[in-house]
Amino acid sequence: MSVKNPSPFTGHVNGHAAGDARHAAFHGSARTGAASLGLTVRPRRNRQSEWARRLVRENTLSTNDLIWPLFVIEGNQSQDVASMPGVQRLPIEQVVAEARRARDLDIPAVALFPYTDPALRDPEGGEAVNPDNLVCRAVRAIKAAVPDIGVVTDVALDPYTSHGHDGVMDGDTILNDETVALLVAQAMTLAAAGADVIAPSDMMDGRVGAIRAALDQAGYADVQIMAYAAKYASAFYGPFRDAVGSNVTLVGDKRTYQMDPANSDEALREVALDLEEGADMVMVKPGLPYLDIIHRVKETFGVPTFAYQVSGEYAMIEGAARNGWIDGDKAMVESLIAFKRAGADGILTYFAPRVAAMLKAVK
């Protein structure tokens, strides 16, 4: 299951192809008769063949590192997400099939996101606590058909609110404590449906502690919490909002609750609070533009740390690849190994099935 990752720089999955011009390249100056620099230390020595590169490789990507986000839609017709080429909103039956595929690809967990019928959205996001809502039905269907895959569910009101915000509003203000009460109810609904991991993505203060207390009191002490601990107010969520339909509803922006991209110490404070409140795992989001944050979080706390390679990151790589501007597979692998190098234990990525298939092929 765990394999040395394909070299992000050559893209050769088993990698013997690159080797053999190496003597010429390595000893080039001597062979051409040019003056030797007389170097004692030559870092290139360890890079001259694939076996040597494999031997000194510091980080590896494995299928164990992946969480696959899936979009769920009502009915029986899948829909393309225009801004995420290759990604679709899927009816429950197909979500179950993808969960089975994920299990077969050794992907440990999927994360579910609903496209809620606009008619069901209201200012309080009431559909979030309907035990028969789309996500709850999807969770039950997956757990019934593929019990050994982890199911991660988002806690936030934005797929359910008519204004597209993660919380309830008073005028222009997102109310914190009132929202937390609703998020607790949402988390309880998801736990009752069988979710393994509750992932609060709303960035309200105190929500992790409130959710942990409620879960414990209701006998869900084993339900894990993966906190979106350092979540930035980012333009890279655009395609996701397209996928869940909150781009049309969203009024204004999320800067009063999501973090300022200029801040780094504040991320550590957010992570510290979520850990004190009972988070089992923490997440940094978006991914590549925030590798420094992942690194600091992992170094500071040494806890399970996840990165979310978000929709806009996926769209940039995939969009460029489909235009022939970059090599999509190589860019995908290079971006994912970057998360491992930064210190992430795992990555939420829309590339999960594609990279897992590559990794399994080199077993």
Question: Rule CB under 6 A: which residues touch ligand PBG?
Answer: 154, 156, 158, 166, 201-202, 237, 240-241, 310-311
Of the two residues 15 and 152, which places its CB atom closer to ligand PBG in the complex?
152
The strand pair at 169-170 and 173-174 is best described as antiparallel
Of the two residues 11 and 200, which places its CB atom closer to ligand PBG in the complex?
200
Catalytic residue among 285, 298, 330, 340: 285
- Minimum CB separation from ligand PBG for residue 86, in Å? 14
- Minimum CB separation from ligand PBG for residue 235, in Å? 10
Nearest residue to ligand PBG by CB is 240
Do residues 129 and 174 lie in contact, with contact meaning Cβ atoms separated by under 8 Å?
Answer: no
- The backbone region for 205, taken as left when phi is positive above 0, alpha when psi lies in -120 to 50, beta otherwise, is beta
Burial of residue 272, with CB atoms counted within 10 A of its CB: 0-12 exposed, 13-18 middle, 19 or more buried: middle
Burial of residue 104, with CB atoms counted within 10 A of its CB: 0-12 exposed, 13-18 middle, 19 or more buried: middle
Of the two residues 50 and 270, which places its CB atom closer to ligand PBG in the complex?
270
Q: How many CA atoms within 13 Å lie on the side-chain side of 84?
A: 27
**Is residue 143 among the annotated active site residues?**
no
Q: Which two tokens stand for residue 237?
A: 């969520």
- Minimum CB separation from ligand PBG for residue 154, in Å? 5
Of the two residues 50 and 318, which places its CB atom closer to ligand PBG in the complex?
318
Please, which residues bridge with residue 308 across strands? 348
- Minimum CB separation from ligand PBG for residue 146, in Å? 23
- Minimum CB separation from ligand PBG for residue 325, in Å? 22
Distance, CA of 84 to chain centre: 15
- Minimum CB separation from ligand PBG for residue 239, in Å? 7
Torsion of CA 346, 347, 351, 356, to 10 degrees: 0
Distance, CA of 141 to chain centre: 22
Of the two residues 65 and 242, which places its CB atom closer to ligand PBG in the complex?
242
Helix 265-276 and helix 207-217, axial crossing angle in degrees, nearest 10: 20
d(CA 278, CA 238): 30
133 to 75, 145, 186: CA distances (angstroms): 13, 19, 11
Burial of residue 130, with CB atoms counted within 10 A of its CB: 0-12 exposed, 13-18 middle, 19 or more buried: middle
CA-nearest of 205, 212, 224 to 270 is 205
DSSP state, residue 78: -
Of the two residues 133 and 311, which places its CB atom closer to ligand PBG in the complex?
311
Which residues 6+ apart lie within 8 Å of 165 measured at CB?
157, 158, 174, 250, 251, 254
d(CA 163, CA 9): 44
- Minimum CB separation from ligand PBG for residue 200, in Å? 9
**Is residue 363 among the annotated active site residues?**
no
Of the two residues 191 and 244, which places its CB atom closer to ligand PBG in the complex?
244
Active site residues: 231, 285
